[in-house]
Amino acid sequence: MNNFILLQAEGAGSGIMGQVFLFGSIILIMYFFMIRPQQKKQKDSKNFLEEIKKGDNVVTIGGIHGKIYSIDGDTITLDLDKGFKIKVEKSAISLDFTKRANGTK
């Protein structure tokens, strides 16, 4: 009878280890398919905003196309057409829209 109880206890322990392994696998999959790509996209966007310079053609999040006339800290002045200029925040420049407009990926 004592052997039967020991066998049940060992079986329960392996079930818990299986659940821990399954849970760990799910977390790992979520990291590689959701968290890591989002971190990479944020890093790329940050690098893009740091590297833009006067004369670059950009597109804002709202879809406004223009050429950078000047950069003053976090504010960018865009030249839209023949001297018509607007000021936008640097964070309003879209990496994805700018890439599509310029034909790069």
The pLDDT score that the predictor gives to residue 99 is 87
The pLDDT score that the predictor gives to residue 6 is 46
Cα distances from 4 to residues 11, 12, 17, in angstroms, run 11, 13, 21
The pLDDT score that the predictor gives to residue 105 is 62
User: What CATH number belongs to 54-105?
Assistant: 2.30.30
Q: Where are the domains of the chain?
A: 1-51, 54-105
pLDDT tens, per residue, the chain with 105 residues: 444 454 454 555 568 888 999 999 999 999 989 999 999 999 999 999 999 999 999 999 999 999 999 999 899 999 998 889 999 999 899 988 888 888 776
Query: H or E segment at 93?
Result: none
Q: How far apart are CA 102 and CA 105, in angstroms?
A: 9
Taking the alpha carbons of 86, 90, 91, 95 in that order, is the dihedral positive or negative? positive
Give pTM, 2 decimals. Answer: 0.66
